[in-house]
Amino acid sequence: MLHLHSHSRQQWLLQVDQFLPEVLIDHAHCERKAASTAMSLMNAYVVNRALARAMTVIVQEELEHYELVLQLLERRHIKFCLQKPSAYGKQLHALIRQAEPQRVVDRLLVASLIEARSCERFDLLSKHVRQSDPELADFYASLFESEARHHTTYVALAEDYAPRSEVRLRLKELAEAEANILENDQPVVRMHS
Ligand SMILES: [Fe+2]
Ligand SMILES: [Fe+2]
């Protein structure tokens, strides 16, 4: 369903145990950036009514998630701050082709894969901390469904711009690249590292 080409490594979960506050701060930034991505797609393809409608919903949901993560940080007395992001987003965005309509297809598919990876990791995290931190487990379980829906929405919108078979092929290529990006060790522990 999520079209990912790899499972997250156990190593990532172990690192999260060690650096949980940093990962939670990064998660807040991810939600903010997800809202910004949806807004920028809406602005770039303003005449696509279906896209505008879908992006309106996603912007609102991501901003709600952003606020929820910020509240979680406050409850835990974790100071929200600027942070060096992992190279993941930058490396994925570098794969976007420049000419239209390939560009819009890639932008939508890259967004769909980021949503899919978030979704996979929220599920892993939720299960991992179920006993030790039920509040966090419930929080991540509650976000899973909407991020899965965002993934599906982005893939469906890409099919407005290219035949389904082409979209699926490109999704497969980008998913392979996404898995490779995560294979390489990142110097920082993040939601996507
Ligand atoms: Fe979100
Ligand atoms: Fe999302």
- pLDDT for 47: 96
Using alpha carbons, select from 55, 56, 69, 90 the residue that is nearest to residue 26. Answer: 69
Distance (angstroms) between ligand 1 centre and the Cα of 52 equals 18
38-59 tens-digit pLDDT: 999 999 999 999 999 999 999 9
Rounded distance between C-alpha atoms, residue 123 and residue 109, angstroms: 21
29 vs 47: CA distance, rounded Å:
29
Judged by its nearest atom, the ligand closest to the C-alpha of residue 148 is 2
The arithmetic mean of pLDDT across residues 159-188, rounded, is 94
**Distance (Å) from CA 34 to ligand 1 centroid:** 7
d(CA 174, CA 106): 8
Using the mean position of ligand 1's atoms as its centre, give its distance from the Cα of residue 120 in Å: 13
Ligand 2 centre and the CA of 122: distance in Å? 11
pLDDT for the residue 184 = 85
Closest ligand to 151 CA? Answer: 2
Ligand 1 centroid – CA 147 distance (Å) = 6
The confidence band for 114, taking pLDDT boundaries of 50, 70 and 90, is very high
The pLDDT score that the predictor gives to residue 187 is: 78
Is the pLDDT confidence value at 149 over 80? yes
147 CA distance to ligand 2 middle (Å)? 4
Ligand approaching nearest to the C-alpha of 64: 1
pLDDT (average), residues 106-113? 98
CB distance 171 to 160 below 8 Å: no
User: Which ligand is nearest the CA of 58, by number?
Assistant: 2
> Over the chain, what is the mean pLDDT?
96
Measured in Å, residue 69 CA sits from the centre of ligand 1 at 10
pLDDT at position 1 is 66
Please name which of 132, 110, 116 lies closest in space to residue 13, comparing C-alpha atoms.
132
